[in-house]
Structure 1
Amino acid sequence: MKTKKILKITLILILIGICLFFWKKFKRKNLKERFKTIAVEKGNIKITVQATGTLMPQNRLEIKPPIPGRIENIRVEEGQTVKKGEILAWISSTERAALLDAARSKGEKELTYWKDLYKPTPLISPMDGVIIVRNMQPGQSITIQDAPLVLSDRLIVKAQVDETDIGQLLLQQKVEIILDAYPNVKIKGTVNHIAYESKTVNNVTMYEVEVLPEKILDFMRSGMTANLKFTIQEKEHILIIPQEAVKTMDNQTTVFVPSKEEKNKKNRIPKTIETGITDGKKIEILQGLSEGEPVLVPEIRFQNLKLKNNGVNPFMPARRGSGNRTSETKK
C-alpha cells in the first residue's frame, strides 16, 4: 500500500513537470519582440515632485478684547478684508454695561447722557488681512480670553515632503497647485519656506514645505486639500523619443533604426546617441538623431496561435451546436 501511494505521488509530480515544461516552451515560442516605427519629434519634458498639502493661513491671529464686558456692535463679516488700525467691533466694559442698563430704565434722556459720557472700547485690527472666523454676536458677554474674531493675513499651502525628494526642492521654485474642490483650476505658486527640522509621519521622515500662491482666488478656503507639483526641471522644444526606445549596449546609449539593407534579416541596426533629461516616459535627445528621423520602439506581443479547428484550442471542449469559432484582430 505504501509503495503504491509513493508511486502515485511520483507519477503526479512527473505529469506536473511535463506540463510545466511544455507550457514554458509554448510561451517562449509564441512570445516575440516586435517593433513599431516612430519619428523623432520636438516636445517638452517636465520633471516634477508631487506632494499633498493643506490650504491654511500663513498667520492666524485671534483678536481678543482688552477688557471684559459686552459686545455692543460688530462691524465686519466673515470673508471681509480689513486694514491695520480699522475698528472691527465696539465693546462696553462691565461697568459701562451695568450703567447703561440702569440708565435705560430711567428713560432715553438718561441713557443718552451716559452713552456720551462713558464711551465704548474699540476692538482694532492689528494687521491687514481677512476675517476668517466670527464667533460672537452683539449683546453677548465677553471675557479677555474670548476671541470673537479671527484674522488671517493670507492663505498658503503647507505640505509634507518625503526626505528622498526634499533635496530637489529650492526656495522660489515653481509649483502647480490644484485643489480637490476645484480640480480643473490650476494655481501657480512658489516655494516660500523649507523646514530645517523633520517630522516623522507614519514612520516616514518628512519635511514641512510652505508654498505661496501667486493669487488668492475668491473660492479658496482654509482647510482645503491641495495637490502640489514642484517643477524640478523643465525643457521646451527639444528632441524627444519614448523612453523604451533607448537601450544600453556595450556601455553605450543606443536606439534601433530601420535598415534598408536586404542582407539585414532583422531589418534594424543599432545607432549610438546621447541623451539628456527624462520624465520616465519621454527622453531628451542631445546628439545622434534629428527631427523626423525614424526610430524603432519595441513591442512585446503574443503571436497568433495556429491551432487546429480554425483557431479553437484543442484542449477546450467544443460547444454543442456552435460550430467553429474564429477571432479577428484589427490593426
Structure 2
Amino acid sequence: MTRQKNNTLWAEYPVTRGDLDIRILATGTVQPENRLEIKAPIAGRIDEVLIKEGTVVRKGQIIAWMSSTERAAMMDSARARGPEEVTRWEELYRRTPIISPLAGTIILRNVEPGQTITNSEAIFAMSDRLTVKAQVDETDIAKIQLKQKAEITLDAYPETQIPALVDQIAFEAKTVNNVTTYLVDVLPTSTPEFMRAGMTANVNFHLASKKDVLLLPSEALRLIDGKSTVAITVNGTVEDREVTVGLSDGKKSEVLAGLKEGDVALRAELNSAASGSKNPFSPFGNSRRPGSGGSRRKN
C-alpha cells in the first residue's frame, strides 16, 4: 500500500506474524552415482533377455542368456534336423548366462534376442542409485552441509517434490563464464519410478526455518551507521527506529526487537509529480519528511 503526504509517496510495510523458511536454490542434472557397463563374457548371439530398462536387479541375478558363436551354429543345425536334436544339444551344450555384477537399476538395454554381439561392446548399463548433481554458487557453498535436507523438483514433473539429503560436496570448483560453482550430490531418500538419468532438476536446500515469528518485508529495512533501521510514524511525524533482525530469506526478515505485530514501517518512493530533482539512491529522495515541510507540486 502507498500513501502520499507532503508530496512524498510512502510505501507501507506492515509487520505480520508467520513462518520463515530459508533456502538456497540450485539447478542440476540427474545422474547415476555409479554407472557400470555390462558386456558379454564371450562373443555370440543373444537367446533371451530377462529384464528391461528400469528393472531393479540384485547382485548375481541372471539378466540374459546367450549362446557362443559355436553353440549358435550347432543349435541352428539342430533345428533343421528336428525337435529331438534341439533337445539333445540343449542338454549337451548349455547356454551362457549374463549376470548382474551388483545390485541396482538397469538404465540402458542395448540388445535384443537373436542379435549377434562381441565381448567388447556394452549391451547393458546399470547404476546403483540415481543422484542429482547440483551446481551451487561459491558464495553459498559454505551454507551447505552433509546430510542437510533438500527437495528435488524435476522439470518433467514440476508438481512433485522429492525429499532428499546432501550426500557429497565437491572439493574442487568449476568455473564457467567467470561463474564459480561446486558440484553437490543430492540423494533422494526414495527414488521415484519416473526419475530418469539426464533429467534437469531444481534443488531447494533447507538452511533454517522458524514458525510463528514477526516478519517485515526486507525492502523496508535500511542500514544506517551499521544498524538496521526502519521509518515509522510517531504522532504524525516520520522517525527512524532501530530494529533487531534475525533470519531473512531475502524477501522477508525476522524482527527480534523494535517493532510489534501491526506496526507499519514506511519507505519513501520517488514522486515524479513533485518539483525538483530527487536522488534515487536516497531512501527519501530529496523530499523532506512529513511534518517538516516539503516541496510543492506543480499545477
TM-score bucket (shorter structure): 0.7 to 0.9
- Structure 1 pair 252/229, CA: closer, same or farther in 2 (3 Å)? same
1:243 counterpart = 2:212: no
Q: 2:13 touches 2:220 (CA, 8 Å); kept in 1?
A: no
Query: SS at 2:75's partner residue?
Result: helix
Correspondent of 1:286 among 247, 256, 259: 256
**Are 2:107 and 1:132 aligned?**
yes
Cα 1:250/1:90, change in 2 over 3 Å: closer
* Matching residue of 2:177: 202
2:114, 2:149 → 1: CA distance?
Answer: 49
Aligned counterpart, 2:199? 224
Q: Is 1:32–1:303's contact at 8 Å kept on the other side of the alignment?
A: no
Contact 1:43 1:237 in 2 (8 A): yes
By how many angstroms is 1:88 displaced? 0.6
Structure with the bigger percentage of strand: 2
Preserved CA contact (<8 Å) 2:151 2:205: yes
Q: Could you tell me which runs of 5 or more consecutive residues in structure 2 were left unpaired when the two chains were aligned.
A: 276-299
**Does the alignment pair 1:184 with 2:184?**
no
From the CA coordinates, give the structure whose radius of gyration is larger: 1
2:239 aligned residue (261, 269, 272): 269
Structure-2-length-normalised TM-score: 0.82
Q: Distance in 2 between matches of 1:296 and 1:199?
A: 43
Aligned 8 A contact 1:91 1:120 in 2: yes
Residue 104 of structure 1 and its aligned partner are, at CA, apart by: 2.2
Shift of 1:278: 1.7
Deviation digits for residues 116-160 of structure 1, max 9, x if unmatched?
A: 011001111122222221111111111111222222222110122
Which consecutive unaligned segments of at least 5 residues does structure 1 have? 1-29, 261-265, 307-331
Select 1:89's aligned residue among 39, 44, 64.
Answer: 64
Q: Hey, what's the Cα distance between the residues in 2 that align with 1:97 and 1:213?
A: 44
Given that 2:18 and 2:215 are in contact with CA atoms closer than 8 Å, whether structure 1 keeps it comes out as: yes
Structure 1 residue 117 corresponds to structure 2 residue 92: yes
Q: TM-score, normalised by structure 1?
A: 0.75
Correspondence list, 1:52-91, <5 A: 52-91=27-66
Length, aligned pairs only: 271
- Identity value in percent: 48
Deviation at 1:218, TM superposition (A): 2.3
